[in-house]
Amino acid sequence: MVMLILALLVVTAGACGQETTTTTTSGSGTTTTTGGDPSDDPFYIEGAEGKTFTYWSTMRNYESQYFTTMAEHPYYQWLEEKTGVKIEFIHPSWEQVDQQLTLMISSREFYDFLQDAWYPGGPQAGINEGCFIDLLPYLDSHMPNYKLALYDEGNELNSWEWSEAEKAIFQPQPQLPSFSEKMFTFDGQLWAMTDVWRDEIPAGCGPIIRRDWLEEAELDMPQTLDELEAVLAAFKERGAIPMSLPAAGYVLIWEGAILISAFDTGGYFDLGDDGLTVEDHTYIKDDFKDYLMLMRDWYAQGYIDPDFMNSDWDSTWSKMVEDNLGIWINYWGNPENIMGAYLGEEAFDIAPMPLPRKTTNQTLKAKQGYVTETTTWLSITTSCEYPEIAAQWLDKHYTKEAMLRQSYGIEGETYEMVDGVPLFLDSLFSDDSEPAEVKQQILMKPVGPHFWSTRADILFSQRGDNTKAGAAMEASLVWGENAEMKLRIPYTVFEDDDWGIQENLVTEVATYADPMVIRFITGQESIEEKWDEYVQTCINLGIREARDVWQKAYSKMLEIAD
């Protein structure tokens, strides 16, 4: 049985890179050049005609409901028509990803494109051991559009999308110029390409508050910790749980940083003010001690869910729908949550709450954004027979025309140009057959790395006003107020086993520290008496060594970027 599966896999893998005729595409297939010199066509790729590439990638939720393969996705059909390149998709299920990759590595037979493949041992090993090809030589010669997207901040694609009025409302900021560094290995090789965000997007995570309760208590939206405390007291009067604290296991990172951010620490190894040094882990910072003392007081007052250490998302959710929770933490665009809450009973009114600060003139350093996160990456493998054509095909995703197709769809069908700015047609939203973000995914967005338009996302949400997307965007704008993203260490590649080394150290520390943190908050251990001992234990367990590993890797990254 196993043998059979193995044999099948090898056979399929062996087929990659060849001009197979068994393509699953249902589009017209042949090209298109519109007369004249073919090199005038921005999508012309020399020798691309009839070539087929294999593309290994998982499918997103919505897509798997609509397509059996991404080759059926309108974007890829459009691109095939434009370029003449056929793509044969292979979609592993989420659970199979690691296993299939390991099998590919063992057999040394890869698909042409691997998406989101995390090579065991790191990207450099992926190149050295002959899995990924180094894309750097192709960047200059075959990927001019991608290069422009990465490096040229004056690129006209960076500003043309926004009308003046929109700029005033959304204040889009140019993307941090860190993308160029992301996909480089230590030896300065380019192991993958990634999506490029057009503009910085608002925060990705933050608190939600019961606005109706707030109004009944005749209180304003809390801005500072003091105001928040007054609100919590009022919520407690109602007999409800005033606020949930992040579920156990995530006490510090991500959601935890919402309340910690007022204390200028981000829940992990913080980046120093100079942008060069990696500071101590939040676990052992004095700021964190202050945070814990406040949480302890609030816990004693009954302001915090007495069950917080055991709550997971489901239990928090059920407390919320049972009308029993005042403030909780939410992710941007998490489908069921915001929509369900917004479209619920009329009396059930919620609103995003700004991240609480110590004083109103504090600018928070720990915003929860997605900016430094790479969402997808794509590598070309050594099994690919025509890497030049593959590189050029990928590059086409970053042309202006492709960007319009990815973000706005088809001119005349889904959008129109008004004063040089693309606007969605009403017809796109007038039929309610699908929620807006589903339409966006099944009509436009490719599965892999692409040029990502923040404006299109916002427009989508603004147009479908009462849908979750509208609420989500409102929320992320509120969460992004008065907050910068200074504490998060930008994407960092680790050398050899360093990633594992620091991960093991942090796991070891967390095994000790997480229960201690809960005990501090619940008052089972005295912060005043035990804090020093706690910090010392964390240090003994290696939290500083882990920091040094981060520092080493991050310094190296800075060096490469120079």
Residues at the contact surface with other proteins, assessed by CB under 8 A: 1-3, 98, 101-102, 105-106, 120-121, 125, 129-131, 248-249, 251, 306-307, 309-310, 312, 314-315, 499-500, 503-504, 507-508, 510-512, 514-515, 517-519, 541
**Measured from the CB of residue 119, what is the shortest distance to other proteins in angstroms?**
9
- Give the residue with the Cβ less far from other proteins, 104 or 139: 104
Q: Which is nearer to other proteins, 173 or 310 (CB)?
A: 310
- Inter-residue contact 367 to 479 (CB < 8 Å): yes
CA 131/CA 114 separation, integer angstroms: 10
CB of 119 or CB of 479, closer to other proteins: 119
- Minimal distance, residue 507 CB to other proteins, in Å: 5
| Closest separation in Å from C-beta 107 to other proteins | 10
Q: Name which of 314 and 426 has its Cβ closer to other proteins.
A: 314
122/207 with CB nearer other proteins: 122
Least Å distance, CB 320 to other proteins, is 14
Which region, left, alpha or beta, applies to residue 421 given φ > 0 means left and ψ of -120 to 50 means alpha?
beta
Quick one: how far is CA 8 from the chain centroid?
34
Residue 212 CB, shortest distance to other proteins, in Å, is 22
Q: How many CA atoms lie within 13 A of 306 on its CB side?
A: 6
Smallest distance, Å, CB 540 to other proteins?
8
Q: How far apart are CA 73 and CA 75, in angstroms?
A: 5
CB of 87: closest distance to other proteins in angstroms?
Answer: 26
**Identity of the residue, 186 or 250, whose beta carbon is nearer to other proteins in the bound complex:** 250
**What DSSP designation does 250 have?**
-
Q: Least distance (Å) from other proteins to the CB of residue 34?
A: 46
Q: Which helix (H) or strand (E) holds 127?
A: helix 123-128
Residues 6 or more apart in contact with residue 73 via CB below 8 angstroms = 63, 67, 442, 446, 447
φ/ψ region of 70 (left if φ > 0, alpha if ψ in -120 to 50, else beta) reads: alpha
Cα separation, 353 vs 222, whole angstroms: 7
Of the pair 102, 466, the CB lying nearest other proteins is at 102
Beta carbons within 10 angstroms of residue 139's beta carbon = 18
Give CA–CA dist 11/326, Å, rounded: 57
- Long-range contacts: 496-499, Cβ < 8 Å, 24+? 496/121, 496/122, 498/549, 498/552, 498/553, 499/122
Query: Closer to other proteins at the Cβ: 454 or 502?
Result: 502
